[in-house]
């Protein structure tokens, strides 16, 4: 059936981002927020528009537009540590700046609306990992998710120790932590992808940000749902899912439900258009 307003979603998404952009610009009296959130909103809306138009690689285009902007412009040029240690650093400093706002919007409160859209469309770590050859995992999922709590704790302890030790020039340390942290993430992510034949192994077992993302995305407004009257239980959706989600189960407790990155691979491959 033809949708009445096929482009409503990209328009709504742009409007939401613009609302955030204008609110932060006016409340913080800083034009950067207008530019930042308008740019991200345009990139995301463009991606949704391209997806609706069935343009191949729509998601990858957004991932590159947002991921490269954050990694190169915000991280390397503006020296803003957007990794988790940057979040702790600004939080402990009591500064409500780009990294804290970024975490609040993309990784803590945003997932209540758009789940783990961040992981599918914006993360600069996954932007590289998704170029590897194992988009569809070739091995069963491992029980290694506990590692994420260790990396989460390590990031917190690292920043807390810097504050307790009253380390000088923490800003500079944070910049180098960003550089070294990213090199480590890419190195470990690529090694694990080949080891487990799974591009997203890093996301499943190591990434500390999932400690925020998983519980919040459990309540996500935006979810893939299955029309059981059309589903013929062919299993294709689960086979192509990079995150091993059982998307045929509509309950919030679906298997690996908090892992869904809204990549739409299941939707594209369902032969009965049940998703
Ligand atoms: S799980 Fe972590 S590394 Fe993977 S896409 Fe999400 S934020 Fe990025
Ligand atoms: S691919 Fe479609 S028809 Fe097949 S199991 Fe999944 S939802 Fe059902
Ligand atoms: S394939 Fe479907 S269920 Fe799996 S992560 Fe992508 S959108 Fe979510």
- What is the CA(240)–ligand 3 centre distance, in A? 8
Q: What Rg do the C-alpha atoms of the chain give, in angstroms?
A: 19
Residue 161, Cβ neighbours under 10 Å: how many? 10
Closest CA to 17 of 46, 47, 45, 38: 38
Residue 102: band (very low, low, confident or very high) from pLDDT cuts 50, 70, 90: confident
Please list every protein residue whose CB sits less than 6 Å from any atom of ligand 2: 226, 231-237, 248, 270, 272, 274-275
Q: Are 67 and 61 in contact (CB under 8 A)?
A: no
Give the closest ligand to the alpha carbon of residue 51. 3
Average pLDDT over residues 120-126: 95
- What is the CA(126)–ligand 1 centre distance, in A? 6
Give the Cα separation of 160 and 125 in Å (integer).
Answer: 24
Q: Are 122 and 106 in contact (CB under 8 A)?
A: yes
Q: Which of 224, 227, 229, 235 to mutate to test the pocket of ligand 2 (most atoms within 8 A of CB)?
A: 235
Average pLDDT over residues 206-219: 96
Per-residue pLDDT reduced to its tens digit, 133-149: 999 999 999 999 999 99
Atom of ligand 1 nearest to the CA of 123: 8
First to last CA, the chain: 14
DSSP for 215-251, written as a single string: HHHTT-SS-----TTT-----HHHHH-TT---TT--S
In order of their start, the domains of the chain are: 83-217 (no CATH), 223-275 (3.30.70.20)
Per-residue pLDDT reduced to its tens digit, 3-59: 567 788 889 889 989 998 999 899 988 899 899 999 999 999 999 899 889 898 999
Q: Would you state the pLDDT for residue 3? A: 56
- What is the CA(265)–ligand 3 centre distance, in A? 6
- What is the CA(227)–ligand 2 centre distance, in A? 9
Give the closest ligand to the alpha carbon of residue 185. 1
Give the Cα separation of 41 and 191 in Å (integer).
Answer: 33
- Take residue 242 and report the two structure tokens written for it: 């990079």
What's this model's pTM, rounded to 2 decimal places?
Answer: 0.91
Closest CA to 100 of 85, 90, 108: 90
203 lines ligand 1 (CB under 6 A): yes
Atom of ligand 3 nearest to the CA of 244: 4
What percentage of residues in the chain have a pLDDT greater than 90?
74
Backbone phi, psi, residue 165, to 5°: -80, 0
Q: Would you state the pLDDT for residue 167? A: 86
As to burial, measured by CB atoms within 10 angstroms (0-12 exposed, 13-18 middle, 19+ buried), residue 50 is middle
Q: How many residues does the chain have?
A: 275
Looking up tokens 């469309």, which residue turns up?
Answer: 121
Give the Cα separation of 51 and 39 in Å (integer).
Answer: 18
266 lines ligand 3 (CB under 6 A): yes
* In 29-169, alpha helices (H): 31-52, 58-68, 84-93, 98-102, 111-114, 117-121, 124-129, 147-164
Handedness of CA 160, 165, 171, 174 (dihedral sign): negative
Q: Are 76 and 177 in contact (CB under 8 A)?
A: no
């Amino acid at each position: 059936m033809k949708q009445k307003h096929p482009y409503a979603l990209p328009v709504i998404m742009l409007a939401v981002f613009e609302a955030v952009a204008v609110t932060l610009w006016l409340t913080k009296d800083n034009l950067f927020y207008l530019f930042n959130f308008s740019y991200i909103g345009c990139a995301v809306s463009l991606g949704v528009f391209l997806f609706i138009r069935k343009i191949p690689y729509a998601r990858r285009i957004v991932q590159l537009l947002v991921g490269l902007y954050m990694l190169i412009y915000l991280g390397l040029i503006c020296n803003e540590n957007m990794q988790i240690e940057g979040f702790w650093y600004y939080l402990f400093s009591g500064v409500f700046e780009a990294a804290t706002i970024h975490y609040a919007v993309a990784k803590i409160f945003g997932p209540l609306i758009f789940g783990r859209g961040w992981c599918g469309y914006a993360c600069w770590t996954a932007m590289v990992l998704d170029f590897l050859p194992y988009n569809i995992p070739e091995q069963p999922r491992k029980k290694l998710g506990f590692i994420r709590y260790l990396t989460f704790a390590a990031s917190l302890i690292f920043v807390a120790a810097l504050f307790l030790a009253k380390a000088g020039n923490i800003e500079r340390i944070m910049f180098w932590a960003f550089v070294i942290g990213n090199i480590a993430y890419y190195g470990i992510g690529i090694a694990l992808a080949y080891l487990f034949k799974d591009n997203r192994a890093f996301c499943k077992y190591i990434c500390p940000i999932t400690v925020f993302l998983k519980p919040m995305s459990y309540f996500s407004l935006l979810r893939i749902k299955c029309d059981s009257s059309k589903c013929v239980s062919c299993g294709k959706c689960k086979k192509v899912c990079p995150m091993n989600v059982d998307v045929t189960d509509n309950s919030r407790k679906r298997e690996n439900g908090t892992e869904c990155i809204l990549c739409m691979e299941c939707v594209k491959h369902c032969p009965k258009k049940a998703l």
